[in-house]
Amino acid sequence: MKYLSEYRDPKIARSLADQIRSTASRRWVLMEVCGGQTHTIVKQGIDELLHDAVEMIHGPGCPVCVTPLEQIDRALHIAARPDVVFTSFGDMLRVPGSESDLFQVRANGGDVRIVYSPLDALEIARRHPDKEVVFFAVGFETTAPANAMAVWRAKQLDVSNFSVLVSHVTVPPAMTALLASPDNRVQAFLAAGHVCTVMGWTEYEPLAATYRVPIVVTGFEPLDLLEGILMAVNQLEKGRHEVENQYVRSVRREGNRPAQDVIGKVFRLVDRQWRGIGMIPSSGLGLREEYAAFDAELKFGVSVVTATEPEECHAGDVLRGKMKPHECPAFGTLCTPERPLGAPMVSSEGACAAYFNYGRFRSAAAKA
Amino acid sequence: MTSPVDGPNCPVPHGVYRQIQLGHGSGGKMSAALLAERFLPHFGNPTLTKLGDAAVVDVASSRLAVSTDTFVVRPLEFPGGNIGTLAIHGTVNDLAMMGARAKYLTAGFVLEEGLELLTLDRIIAEMARAASEAGVVIITGDTKVVERGKADGVFINTTGVGEMDAAFMPAPERARPGDAVLVSGPIGRHGIAVMAVREGMAFEAEVESDTANLSPLVELLRGAVGSAVHVLRDPTRGGMASALNEIARAAGVGIMLDETAIPIPGPVSAACEMLGFDPLYVANEGIMVAIVDHDSSELALAALRAHPLGTEAVVIGRVVPEHAGLVALRTAIGGTRVVDMLPGDQLPRIC
């Protein structure tokens, strides 16, 4: 397929893997930030191919996984209302809240619908003026522009029965938190290509300089990841710590200015709780005051809904790269995709789901 | 909050369902659990418990295969077919996968108040055409009408009876290490065709459902290699991955696939990339998996390719003694991964 098969060429892949193995003088520890990258790595067996040259630690870039429990409980609370059509990306429907999930709310009679774009949710609101239509706005900087655009359009068109439950997070504060942690093991990052398509990479330059860590903006196809890993290993071998761009077909240093503008118009930086990680200051996006009428939390008075995050959850260790999914004592036994204990086992971007769905054969072989 | 886990203290599990969810109809693990935990304890008998595509029973001196299937699809009509063609092909194919030749069908219709009669006419006409092509006769039927909103246009149940041949009885448990895994054509077309219409999505080229009667392919295989055909399966809901997992478990063998060999049409892989779906789990209605003795695999391929439905038939993998009960895949770049059954439906991803 055009624009895809050329990034999956087996011959080039093997040659890149050979270069990485011959360049690495020791086993380096790299973190891929984004869950989409984790899935390619595990699905294609890249970690297995490079086992002796690099250790891949899987990062926190799974929007479903880091959405806090209380935000899920708020979503469940709103979705159960008879006057509400609750819309969401498909990933969120199976994520466990304190007592239920959106699939169960739907089975109980709630009107929960999967949409492919927040603008589709806005369209539902325009077609059903008698209903309150709520969109669950989760994700990193990648989904923020479209979500911001939906709110901006709703205000332009005066669609008063539309609102968003916002749980947006941003990448650089999470990377800072990881690097500042005293037990950090990450020696280089593969930054998330699509986040950088929107935001560019200037935000990462001070991080690379302060923590003396190479950061390579990387795409999602097998050759993207192999090339990104090679660039990071080259920097580590030469003692450099710069921001480099592997994903040149999509990312420019300044990013996508119109997308940044619409984010800035609608959202502001707020402190945000990350599920499994905790509070990270100025790490999230919330609606600006001018758009408060579209804030589902205020509209439905659910700010009071709180949930206690369990103090010791291994999902947090996985999200911070301190534990590999299969090292968790519950992995594959008490915790499986159909009976998940934590969100990383549910989301298509979750590291536990990647290990479970693609890797069980390998971990079984490794034990044998 | 209490946790069932000693040590890790994660959010409580919700795998214990109190109501039916859509995932119970996905053909994945939730469907399997529904059967095993709810139905079999009450209905279980040696014939049913085999859970084949069709049941095999002896009546007087003849051996018969019986299969039933209920069809619900939105939209009712889609590129390549409609719910009526599916209702014929689905049941005829289930019989063919047991090696049976379909003879008779019954048809039951649940009609929703307000269904356009012109739509119903088109469905029935296509159904009749598909039945005649497959050489089956609809010998009895039933109609019921329910209030508007209590059904989705029309639901159809068909039950088929076919004749068995004692010399040709493929079955999932007959897969043996060394066997070749063949597929008769490109995967994923039905699921993507239906979804594209339902969700109003346009792709680079229109995808047509592959819905088709597979019995001519089965006849060709039977003629060419006979009992060297160990397993036949039409990978409908749950897709190729679920069908192969069921075979691996039934036979207690492993299956190793070659990613580069699996035929996936361009528009199907484009749609799947966009939605975050894996084509291995997308429904098919007109292809089959054949697991064939290694020595007969070339003959079997040639036989399939002689028919218009089988021109793109290929070997996609082999049955192995290792990792019994698991399906694995060698990736294009040389890694390996597991191809497990999904719990429920595939969910479109966030980004």
Domain positions in chain B are 52-163, 172-338
- Can you give the pLDDT at residue B227? 95
Reading the block at residue A191, the tokens are: 């930054």
> How many separate helices (H) and strands (E) can be counted in chain A?
16, 11
| Domain B172-338 coded CATH 3.40.50.720 | no
Q: Which residue of B has its CA nearest to A328?
A: B8
Q: Looking at the complex, does the CB of residue A38 fall below 8 Å from at least one CB of chain B? A: no
Condensed to tens digits (0 to 9), the pLDDT of residues A129-160 reads 999 999 999 999 999 999 999 999 999 999 99
The pLDDT value given to residue A309: 63
Q: Mark yes or no for CB contact A360/B340 under 8 Å.
A: yes
Q: How far is CA B149 from each of CA B70, B113, B119, B152, B154, rounded to the nearest angstrom?
A: 19, 8, 17, 7, 11
Per-residue model confidence as pLDDT tens digits over A160-172: 999 999 999 999 9
ipTM, two decimals, is 0.76
- b (16+ CB within 10 A) / e for A69-80: bbbbbbbbbbbb
Which carries the bigger pLDDT value, residue A173 or residue A364?
Answer: A173
- Would you say residue B118 has pLDDT above 70? yes
> What is the per-residue pLDDT for B333?
86
Which is more confident, A124 or A44? A124
- Res. B16: pLDDT tops 70: no
Please report, to the nearest 10 degrees, the dihedral formed by the alpha carbons of residues A262, A264, A267, A270 taken in order.
Answer: 150
- CB-CB under 8 Å, A116 with B199: yes
**Residues in a beta bridge with A358:** none
Is residue B351 within 8 angstroms of chain A, CB to CB? yes
Q: What is the CATH number of the domain that holds A160?
A: 3.40.50.11740
Which two three-digit tokens encode residue A126?
Answer: 């325009």
| Å between A241 CA and nearest CA of chain B | 29
Please check whether residue A362 touches B, CB under 8 A: yes
B11 contacts on A by Cβ (under 8 Å): 69, 96-98, 310, 313, 341-343
In this complex, is the C-beta atom of A311 within 8 Å of any C-beta atom belonging to chain B?
yes
Number of helices (H), then strands (E), belonging to chain B: the values are 9, 14
Contact between B333 and A49 using a beta-carbon 8 Å cutoff: yes
Contact B288, B172 (CB under 8 A): no
CATH superfamily label, B52-163: PurM-like, N-terminal domain (3.30.1330.10)
- CB within 8 Å: B8 and A330: yes
> For A74-78, A322-326, A340-344, B33-37, which range has the lowest pLDDT when averaged over its residues?
A340-344
Q: Residue A5: inside a domain, yes or no?
A: no
Q: Which residue has the tokens 């969100």?
A: A343
Q: Does B205 touch chain A (CB under 8 A)?
A: no
Q: Strand A188-192 and strand A215-218: pairing?
A: parallel
pLDDT of B3 higher than 50? no
Do residues A126 and A138 both lie within one domain?
Answer: yes
Question: Average per-residue pLDDT in chain B?
Answer: 90
Residue B151 confidence (pLDDT) above 90: yes
> Looking at chain A from residue 105 to 164, which residues have their Cβ under 8 Å from any Cβ of chain B?
106-108, 114, 116, 138-140, 142-143
CA torsion angle A48 A274 A347 A333 (round to 10): 70
Across A47-56, A187-196, B137-146, least confident range: A47-56
Same-domain status, A343 and A194: no
Cβ–Cβ below 8 Å for B347 and A329: no
Q: What is the pLDDT of residues B54-73, one digit of tens each?
A: 899 999 888 999 999 999 99
Q: Is B19 on the interface with A (CB under 8 A)?
A: yes
Say which range, A231-245, A292-306, B1-15, B298-312, has the weakest mean pLDDT. Answer: B1-15
Alpha carbons A59 and A185: distance in angstroms, whole number: 12
Using a CB–CB cutoff of 8 Å, tell me whether B203 touches chain A: no
What confidence tens digit (pLDDT) does each residue in A238-286 have? 999 999 999 999 999 999 999 999 999 999 999 998 887 889 999 999 9
pLDDT for B166: 87
Q: Please judge whether A45 and B331 are an interchain contact, meaning their C-beta atoms are less than 8 angstroms apart.
A: yes
Say whether both A159 and A279 belong to one domain: yes
Considering the domain architecture, whether residues A330 and A259 belong to the same structural domain is answered as no
Residue A308 has pLDDT above 80, yes or no: no
> Which residues of chain B neighbour A106 with C-beta distances below 8 Å?
21-22
Per-residue confidence (pLDDT) for residue A357, from 0 to 100: 81
Judge whether A359 is closer than 8 Å to chain B, CB to CB.
yes
Q: Which of residues 237-296 of A touch B (CB under 8 A)?
A: none
Confidence check: pLDDT of B241 > 50: yes
pLDDT band, very low/low/confident/very high, at B9 (cuts 50, 70, 90):
very low
Same domain, A349 and A319: yes
Percent of chain A with pLDDT over 90: 67
DSSP states of A36-90: HHHHHHHHHTHHHHTTTTEEEEEEEE-HHHHS-HHHHHHHHHHHTSTTEEEEE-G
Confirm whether A164 is domain-assigned. yes
- pLDDT value of residue B341: 85
Contact of B84 with B127, CB cutoff 8 Å: yes
Does residue A20 sit within a domain? no
Q: Would A285 be classed as within a structural domain? A: yes
Same domain? A190 vs A126: no
Phi, psi of A304, rounded to the nearest 5 degrees: -75, -20
Total domains present in chain A: 3
Residue A309 inside a domain? The answer is no
Q: Which of A20, A39, A44, A224 to mutate to test the interface with B (most CBs of B within 10 A)?
A: A44
| Pairs of CB atoms within 8 A across A/B | 184
Q: What is the mean pLDDT of chain A?
A: 91
Q: What pLDDT score was predicted for residue A1? A: 58
CATH of the domain at A224: 3.40.50.11750
Q: A164 with A281: CB under 8 angstroms?
A: no
Residues in chain A closer than 8 A to B201 (CB atoms): 116
| Interface contact B333-A357, CB threshold 8 A | no
Retrieve residue B338's tokens. Answer: 């597991």
Same domain, A159 and A290: yes
Q: Chain A neighbours among B 318-337 (CB < 8 Å)?
A: 323, 326, 328, 331-337
Q: Which residues in chain B are contacts of A43 at CB distance < 8 A?
A: 331, 337
From the list B10, B22, B335, the residue facing A44 with the nearest CB is: B335
pLDDT at A364 over 60: no
Helix (H/G/I), strand (E/B), else coil: A175? helix
Range of the domain at A220: 26-63+183-245
Q: Using a CB-CB distance cutoff of 8 angstroms, which residues of chain B are in contact with residue A335?
A: 5, 10, 13
pTM given for the model: 0.84
The pLDDT value given to residue A159: 97
Answer yes or no: do A338 and A235 share one domain: no
- CB atoms under 10 Å from CB of A170, counted, come to 22
A183 pLDDT above the threshold of 90 = no
B30 touches chain A (CB under 8 A): yes
Nearest by CB: B340 against A99, A140, A357: A357
Do the domain assignments include residue A166?
A: yes
Q: Name the pLDDT band for B13 (thresholds 50, 70, 90).
A: very low
Q: Does residue B4 register a pLDDT over 60?
A: no
Rounded mean pLDDT, A197-206: 98
